[in-house]
């Protein structure tokens, strides 16, 4: 399993709006109109995570959701993380 660092991740991050490499993971902050929308988004991510067996770190305060992706068994960022980020972005298009 290939792992990415700050430099090797950059070409893949170009295709992911506002995702950033930070502390050996990729992260993005989302903001919604209210808590219900934020929570609904988290639930959608949870369903997706179970389906692909790749579970992000999720942080929520009222209408804000911060997501951090990191492949624990590889101890770094892998293609699984970039694929998960793409799928998360698709949730917002629905």
DSSP per position, the chain: ---B-TTTTHHHHTTSTT-EEETTEEEEEEE-SSHHHHHHHHHHHHHHHHHHT---EEEEETTEEEEEE-BGGGTBB-HHHHHHHHHHHHHHH-
pLDDT band at 2 (very low <50, low <70, confident <90, very high): confident
What pLDDT does residue 1 have? 75
What's the confidence (pLDDT) of residue 42?
98
Summarize pLDDT for 28-81 with one digit per residue, the tens.
999 999 999 999 999 999 999 999 999 999 999 999 999 999 999 999 999 999
Widest Cα–Cα separation across the chain: 38
Pick the CATH number of 10-93 from 3.30.70.3400, 3.30.1360.20, 3.40.50.150, 3.90.75.20: 3.30.1360.20
């Amino acid at each position: 399993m290939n792992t990415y660092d700050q430099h090797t991740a950059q070409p893949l991050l170009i295709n992911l709006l506002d995702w950033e490499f930070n502390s050996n993971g990729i992260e993005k902050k989302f903001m919604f109109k209210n808590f219900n929308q934020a929570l609904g988004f988290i639930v959608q991510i949870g369903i997706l995570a179970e389906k692909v067996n790749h579970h992000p770190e999720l942080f929520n305060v009222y209408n804000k959701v911060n997501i951090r992706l990191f492949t624990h068994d590889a101890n770094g960022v892998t293609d699984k993380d970039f694929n998960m980020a793409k799928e998360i972005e698709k949730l917002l298009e629905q």
